[in-house]
Every structure is written in C-alpha cells, then in structure tokens.
Amino acid sequence: MALSVGIVGLPNVGKSTVFNALTAGKAEAANYPFCTIDPNVGIVPVPDARLKKIEKHIKTQKIIPAIVEIVDIAGLVKGASQGEGLGNKFLANIRETNAILMMVRCFDDPNVIHVAGSVDPMRDIDVIDLELALADVETAEKRLKKAQGAAKTGSKEGKAELAVVEKVFAHLQAGKAVRSLELPDDDKKQVATWGFLTSKPVLYCCNVGESDLPKGNQWSDLVRERAKKEGAGVVVLCGKVEAELAEVGEEDRGELLASYGLEEPALATLARECYRLLGLQSYFTAGEKEVRAWTIRKGAQGPEAAGVIHTDFEKGFIRAQVYSLADLEQYGSEAAIKAAGRLRMEGKEYVVQDGDIMHFLFNV
C-alpha cells in the first residue's frame, strides 16, 4: 500500500528545501525494493523502534520500514484553478495523492522575497484553499450535470447520487472544504471516488526560522489554532535545519539535533503524522531474510492485510499465525511463543492490530 502525500505551497515558502532534505534521506530506505522513482518523488521511511526490537530476537539480513512517498508539486499561484502558472497540471498532480502537505511560510527573511510582499500564513492558506475549492466547484458542476441526466431516467441510483452531489455542490459554494461535509459512511465512500481536492486530509507544515525551534513562533501558533478547528495535523520544522540534518552522518546527527532542542528530525515526525492523518497502521513479518513493516488501514481484516504482500495471499487466505512484540520480548523466540501456547491462529474475520507480527497460510 503506497502512501502518497503531495507537498503544495506558494512560491518561496521553502518547499524545495524540505523536499530536497526528504530525498537526501533516500539511502535510509535503500532496502525498500521500489525506491527507483520519479525525480519529483521522495521516499521517507516511517521511523518505528519496534523493528529493531524484533531484530534483537529474530536475526535477519535486513530491516525494511514502512514508507511515505512525498510528491513535489509545482508551486501554486493565485489563479491556478483558471490555468494560471502550471494550472491544470498542478491540480492533476494533487488529485493523484492521498493527502496534502501544505507548506506554510512562518519565517521572515529579507533575502527571500514573499510572493505577496509580506509573511501572513493565514492569507497564504486561504489562497491555496480557494484555488482547490474553485477547482472542486468545477468538478462538482460536471458531476451534477451527469447525475441530473441519470436521475431524469428515473434510475433509483441516479436519484440517490444526485441528492449527494447537490449536498456537496452547496457545501462548496458556501466556501467549505468537502472533507468538512458530514455524510453517512456509504455516501462518504462514494464521494471519495469523485476526485475532489478539498476532500483530502491536510497536514500543515510550518517552516520556521532556526531560532524558533523547537516550538515555533507566533505565526506557527496561528496555524496550530486553525488546524485544531479543522481537525488537521501540524508539523513545525525549519527547512534549513532539516537539509543540514539530511547531510550529516548518524554519529553527528544527535549533537546537531540537541543544539536545536530536537529529539529527532522533523521529517520523522512528518512521516508518522501522515500515517495518523490517513488512519493507517503497521503490522510486521519477521524472518531470516527480512524484518519488515507493512502498511494497512486501521480496521483491516486478515485477508486484506495479507493482500498488501501479494494479491494471491488475499485470494487464497486460509488463516494467519499471530503473536505480539510483548510475547516475543517475554519468550525470546517464535518457538518458545508456540510452546507457551501464545501463538494465535486467526481467521478471515480477524481485525489486525497495530504491531501484530504475522505469518499467513494461503492456498493459490
């Protein structure tokens, strides 16, 4: 399950600096088998201390973390929804991602000119939100015409879809994001397939100055307040510092982090926030060849979890052998876990828990 997050922002907000810091860390995910990707896609390993804990008891050739793909989307300008700047290409690139990482400038630097002449994160967010909403109104109008045609035929499904489209259209016209519209679960699933940009969850990334680490400043505080009201996520970072951290070796990183009052690079926090935002979790497979984290949605059952390894695993799922990291740490090996009667056999209805260690039995 590839998790893709698009970085968007106005020009000169530090988007490229942060993206370059992300891609500089690509070597950390060198074991990941699909890391030859487009130049505008960076991969960020999702830090997970549990992988090392598993390796202590199950010796392996390599550790493979879960990853987040970060897509560098060309800088947005006012009027993008009407084709200004890269216009349609910009909007199409966002459409293909699972979530939006909105880079917001929260630093003042006379050497870096702001496109609007002054630093004002609320105004900048409003510009981006407006462009995405205007593009969505256009999408909704097309969907509305199509649904009206289907409803005229007397189709029950057509009438039901029209009722949902009308709600979405009215919500957008009121200047509200699709993600804030309350709908029954079935309608939400349907709307999710219609490609609305404002339906995507948002993670605000406040780019602050070095002296504002680790907590941020008055501008990032405003973004936090806004995010809280919207139910969005927030990460505060300094693009320059992240770029510096990406360049130094592991042995020097701790000292550099400490000098800024940080416990880890903000890019690690960013990866975990993306996971949380999208309602994702990890389970593990562990053996001599690799200890690996696999990404699944919260609430996924056994066959769906097996399917992220290979579709054949899902189709031919019989059952899963499951144990916890706590069991592994207590008993020391899979054989000892089995001998203690702690190795569970779970069927198709089993809801996979975050951190489960699993082996799948399947029949092709």
pLDDT the model gives residue 75: 62
pLDDT the model gives residue 36: 32
Query: Per-residue pLDDT tens for 22-40?
Result: 776 543 333 333 333 455 8
Residue 59 token pair: 């010796």
Question: Is residue 73 pLDDT above 50, yes or no?
Answer: yes
Q: What's the whole-number mean pLDDT along residues 78-93?
A: 58
Domains and CATH numbers, the chain: 3-116+200-277 (3.40.50.300), 128-198 (1.10.150.300), 299-362 (3.10.20.30)
Pairing of the two strands 357-362 and 317-323: antiparallel
Question: Is residue 1 pLDDT above 70, yes or no?
Answer: no
Q: Is 79 left (phi over 0), alpha (psi -120 to 50) or beta?
A: left
Q: What's the whole-number mean pLDDT along residues 192-199?
A: 92
pLDDT the model gives residue 327: 97
The SS3 of residue 319 is: strand
Residue 142: count other Cβ atoms within 10 Å of its Cβ. 11
Work out the pLDDT band at 303, boundaries 50, 70, 90: very high
pLDDT the model gives residue 77: 58
Average pLDDT, the chain: 88
pLDDT the model gives residue 271: 85
Is the preceding omega at residue 214 within 30 degrees of 0, hence cis? yes
pLDDT the model gives residue 35: 36
pLDDT the model gives residue 88: 55
- Region of poorest pLDDT, from 53-57, 95-99, 120-124, 359-363: 95-99
Q: What is the 3-state secondary structure (H, E, C) of 64-101?
A: ECCEEEEEECCCCCCCHHHCCCCHHHHHHHHHCCCEEE
Residue 141 token pair: 């109008």
Q: What is the 3-state secondary structure (H, E, C) of 329-355?
A: HHHCCHHHHHHCCCCEEECCCCECCCC
62-71, 184-193, 291-300 — which one is most confidently predicted on average?
291-300
Query: Per-residue pLDDT tens for 233-251?
Result: 999 999 999 999 988 888 8
More confident residue, 228 or 155: 228
Q: At what angle do helices 250-259 and 239-247 cross, to 10 degrees?
A: 150
Please give the C-alpha separations between residue 318 and each of 211, 306, 310, 342, 356, in angstroms, as whole numbers. 56, 10, 14, 19, 17
CA torsion through residues 159, 168, 82, 86, sign: negative
On whether the CB atoms of residues 97 and 132 are closer than 8 A, the answer is: no
On whether the CB atoms of residues 339 and 346 are closer than 8 A, the answer is: no
Q: What's the whole-number mean pLDDT along residues 190-211?
A: 94
pLDDT the model gives residue 62: 96
Distance between CA atoms of residues 25 and 41, nearest Å: 12
Q: Which single residue is written with the structure tokens 């260690």?
A: 357
Question: Is residue 322 pLDDT above 80, yes or no?
Answer: yes
Which pTM value belongs to this model? 0.84
Question: Is residue 309 pLDDT above 70, yes or no?
Answer: yes
